[in-house]
Amino acid sequence: MAIGIIDYGLGNLQSVHNALDFIGAENFISNDIEKLKKADKLILPGVGAFRDAIEMIRDKKMDSLLEEVSALGKPILGICLGMQLLFEHSYEFGTHKGLGLLEGDIVKLDVPLKVPHMGWNKLDIIKKAPLFENLPEESYVYFVHSFHLETGADIVSATTFYGKDIQIAAQKEHIYALQFHPEKSGDVGLQILKNFVNL
C-alpha cells in the first residue's frame, strides 16, 4: 500500500515524506509517471506560485497522470498549493487554468489582517468527511497562504475564520483537498494523514 508523493519541481516533499514515515506509511517521492501510476494513492504537495507550478505539471505531463489516476478512482490528496492546483482557475498574478478535477476558483485572501495568513487556526468541520475521523473537538491546523478556495459546489468539508469564513478543505468522491499543511499540524495533522492512508 504505497503512497506516491508527486515531485513536479515545487513542493514541501521532504516534510510530507517524513510525516508519512513517522506514522509508518509506505511512501516514495518520484517524478516518474510510470512509477507514480503504480501507487495506491497520490499526494500532490506544493509551495510557491500557481502559474509556475501548473506550468511545471503540464511540462512533465503530470496533468495527464492525475486525470488517469482520478479516472481509476484512486485517492488523491492536494496540500496547500497542491490543493489549489486541483481546481478550475487561479487568479494569482493573472488568470491561470488549473487541473479542473474539482469545481471552484482560487482567489486572493482579502481580509483586514496580515496576508499571507501564517500560523495556527481552528479547523471548523462543516461536513462529515473521512479525513476528519477521530479528531479532537477543538482542532487547530497550520497555514501559510495568500490565496484561498471559493466554490459554490457542495464539496466543502471545512472552513476557518481569518477575518472572514474561508473554505479550507474539500472532497469529491476520491479527491481530497486541504489548504493547510497536515504534515506541519502536529498530532491533528498526523491523524488526518493516517485517515488518508487508511481510506
Strand 117-122 with 76-79, pairing: unpaired
Helix, strand, coil percentages in the chain from 3-state DSSP, rounded to 5 = 30, 30, 40
Helix (H) or strand (E) holding 190, with range, is: helix 186-197
Could you report the per-residue pLDDT of 78-100, keeping only the tens digit for each? Answer: 999 999 999 999 999 899 999 99
pLDDT of residue 55: 95
pLDDT of residue 62: 95
CB 58 within 8 A of CB 97: no
pLDDT of residue 11: 77
Of 17, 96, 145, 181, the catalytic one is: 181
Question: What's the mean per-residue pLDDT of the chain?
Answer: 96
Q: How far is it, in rounded angstroms, from Cα 198 to Cα 23?
A: 11
117 is catalytic: no
Closest CA to 197 of 149, 122, 134: 134
Q: 12 pLDDT band (50/70/90 cuts)?
A: confident
181 is catalytic: yes
Domains of the chain by start residue, with CATH = 3-197 (3.40.50.880)
- Section 18-26 average pLDDT: 97
103 is catalytic: no
Q: What is the pTM of this model?
A: 0.96
Of 92, 96, 145, 183, the catalytic one is: 183
DSSP 181: B
Of 80, 96, 117, 145, the catalytic one is: 80
pLDDT of residue 48: 87
Whether residue 66 has pLDDT greater than 80: yes
- Section 34-52 average pLDDT: 94
